Amino acid sequence: MTKITPQPGIMDIELYQGGAAHVDGVNNVVKLSSNENPFGPSDATVKAFEATARSLHRYPSSDHLALRTAIAEVHDIDADRVICGAGSDEIIAFLCQAYAGSGDEVVHTEHGFAMYPISARAAGATPVEVSECNRVTDVDAILEACNKRTKLVFIANPNNPTGTMIAAAEIERLAQNLPKQAILVLDGAYAEYIEGYDGGAALVDARENVVMTRTFSKIYGLGALRVGWGYGPKHIIDVLNRIRGPFNVSNSALQAAEVAVRDQAYVTHCRDANAKWRDWLAHALGEHGVPSDTSHANFILARFSDENEANACDTYLQSQGLLVRRVKGYKLPNALRITVGDEASCRQVAHAVGQFKGGAR
């Protein structure tokens, strides 16, 4: 029997690999594999979520006005130019679907987030991977890769899984010099981890070709709820809204996210704890002979001497109930990405890496 074939490009998509959550035979694992907030959501957010339980028979708001207004007030941006999605993944997908198709190119960096090429292919477009310079986004290389087929350029700043970031002036130079038909997408999934950083909102306001994406999955601790948002020029947000399903974000997610974004004291608390334990962990790993680049996010990219050593360390950590992320799929076979957990998890993972390096295997 002949197989019914999907659209061109779909079979080229490599399945997204999520972070491991279980180890056979080990109870009480410490999950440091998905860049989740170790403290979870704030108490006020949990309360808001619980309060929605009795209205599950009602469809959610389709214009997300209350959440967009809260986001706009907190970030001092224009609510009419905010769009909410089922995670920022959905905003990335909308951008590809709306702006890139067959014959078009979608540029992303060598160690960029996996959903950029996946969404590009899902839309029928061709992903174009651009080299980074020692695990840092290289604006000149991106500009060189652009041409008249380039429709979207995705950059995460800070980037996952490297944790590195580039300066606002570099981003501006990139936006300034893109071909005129291309949109620069600034993925700010980890922006809240940097005090005072706007994720690129000011650049969105200053230009017509920049879109910023953000998420509630990281510092707000709401990965399970699937809420993200985008901020862009009115004409682009209007386009994205045409392909957005009317009820793409659930009521529970909308209500919880609205309370979460207004609870900036909690964000500050999580940011401070992350910075403290990230620096401690990077230092401790360094002392054990495991270097990492300065991370601006809630994880560390720990580098080993080769792929074998990285894999052996991962296996050892698993035997200790510690789950981190292999990043070979991100072209970083010698590295492991370790989410910054709470104090106890950071101490445990540093101790275990020390034992591994000291010969315990």
Closest CA to 16 of 145, 111, 119: 119
Please compute Rg for the chain using Cα positions.
20
When binding is defined by CB under 6 A, the residue of 49, 113, 277, 356 that contacts ligand PMP is 113
Q: Which is nearer to ligand PMP, 38 or 284 (CB)?
A: 38
**Closer residue to ligand PMP in complex, CB, 255/320:** 255
Q: In terms of DSSP H, where are the helices of 220-263?
A: 234-243, 251-262
Contacting residue, 41, 127, 200, 228, with ligand PMP by CB under 6 A: 228
- How far is it, in rounded angstroms, from Cα 63 to Cα 244? 10
- Name residue 127's amino acid: P
Closest CA to 329 of 13, 96, 100, 7: 13
Helix (H) or strand (E) holding 91: helix 87-99
Quick one: which of 31, 37, 64, 87 contacts ligand PMP (CB under 6 A)?
Answer: 87
**Structural contact between residues 213 and 92, judged by C-beta atoms closer than 8 angstroms:** yes
**Placement of tokens 């890139």 in the chain:** 100
Q: 107, 165, 189, 290: which one contacts ligand PMP (CB under 6 A)?
A: 189
- Given the rule CB under 6 A, which of 85-93, 144-152, 257-265, 276-284 is the region that contacts ligand PMP? 85-93
Q: Does 304 bind ligand PMP (CB under 6 A)?
A: no
Alpha carbon 240 to chain centroid distance?
Answer: 20
Among 33, 37, 109, 160, binds ligand PMP (CB under 6 A): 160
Q: Which window, 83-91, 117-125, 198-206, 237-245, contacts ligand PMP (CB under 6 A)?
A: 83-91
Q: Which residues bind ligand PMP (CB under 6 A)?
A: 87-89, 113, 156, 160, 187, 189, 215, 217, 223, 228
